[in-house]
């Protein structure tokens, strides 16, 4: 009779172990899935950082320093100053060319009064060159 009680207890222990494993297996799979790193095809956006794919397509450092206080110069293009358009919005304005943008920056833009800085012609040309890289596919200037 003792042997029967031991085997019944043994069966209960095995059943209890099976139930625990049944519950732990999905939790282990969930934990493994959470450890998976995202693919490079669609990485998550980085807060406060550029999501540009290459350093060649990023804004020059002086552009971020001079313009980034008001304009969104890189993705995700949320301007710190809602009154200031993002560089992407500027790049996709109808009729804008690299030359017309550079001329406008050199002649008509209201710095240094409002922004308290000056730009050289080389910097202006570099800003214009960078901004036009932000155009959407299929953009055609009017000129």
The answer to whether the CB of 95 falls within 8 A of the CB of 103 is no
Q: Which has more confidence, 5 or 12?
A: 12
Three-state DSSP at 59 gives coil
Q: What is the CATH number of domain 55-132?
A: 1.10.760
The alpha carbon dihedral of 95, 136, 125, 63 has a sign of positive
**Closest Cα partner for 91 from 58, 52, 129?**
129
DSSP state of 109: S
| Mean pLDDT value of segment 45-73 | 65
pTM score > 0.75 for this model? no
The per-residue pLDDT for range 118-142, each reduced to its tens digit, is 788 999 999 999 999 888 887 666 5
pLDDT digits (tens, 9 = 90+) for 87-122: 899 999 988 899 999 998 888 665 555 666 778 899
| CB-based contact 108:61 (threshold 8 Å) | no
Q: Residues 9, 15, 16, 21: what is their CA dihedral angle, to the nearest 10 degrees?
A: 150
**What are the φ/ψ torsions at residue 84 (nearest 5 degrees)?**
-100, 125
Q: Which has the closest alpha carbon to 130: 88, 83, 96, 80?
A: 88
């Amino acid at each position: 009779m003792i042997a029967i009680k031991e085997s019944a207890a043994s069966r209960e222990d095995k059943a209890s172990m099976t139930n625990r494993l049944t519950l732990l297996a999905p939790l282990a799979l969930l934990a493994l899935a959470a450890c998976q790193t995202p693919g490079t095809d669609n990485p998550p956006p980085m807060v406060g950082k550029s999501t540009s794919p290459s350093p060649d397509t990023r804004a020059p450092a002086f552009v971020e320093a001079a313009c980034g206080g008001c304009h969104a110069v890189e993705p995700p293009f949320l301007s710190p100053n809602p009154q200031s358009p993002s560089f992407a919005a500027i790049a996709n304005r109808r009729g804008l060319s690299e030359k017309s943008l550079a001329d406008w920056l050199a002649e008509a833009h209201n710095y240094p009064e409002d922004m308290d800085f000056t730009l050289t012609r080389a910097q202006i040309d570099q800003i214009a060159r960078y901004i036009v890289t932000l155009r959407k596919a299929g953009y055609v200037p009017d000129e």
